[in-house]
Amino acid sequence: MKEAPITTEYITLGQFLKFMNIVSSGGIAKALLENEQITVNGIIEVKRGRKCYPGDVIDIVGDDTYKITKDET
């Protein structure tokens, strides 16, 4: 499991996918979500705007699993 440190209170799922270089655009993120390829805390997610907070676990089918952490620096 890889850590994904954020400095803000939360990050949207679409922003997370771009931040971690999993997708290069919002359109690609939308397609990935529409095909039910991503779970957040074990639940299939289809919304790019889903807010992800420190402690949330994001699993991407065929890629990796990420845990949102808080970067305090």
The string of pLDDT tens digits covering residues 8-60 is 999 999 999 999 998 898 888 888 888 878 999 999 999 999 999 999 999 99
Say what the pTM is: 0.87
* CATH homologous superfamily of 2-70: RNA-binding S4 domain (3.10.290.10)
pLDDT of residue 35: 85
Which single residue is written with the structure tokens 């805390």? 41
List the one residue out of 54, 43, 41, 46 whose CA is nearest residue 14: 46
Residues 6+ apart with CB under 8 A from 66: 1, 2, 3, 4, 16, 20, 57, 58, 59, 60
pLDDT-based confidence at residue 62 (cuts at 50, 70, 90):
confident
Encoded tokens for 37: 């390829």
Task: Supply the DSSP symbol for 20.
Answer: T
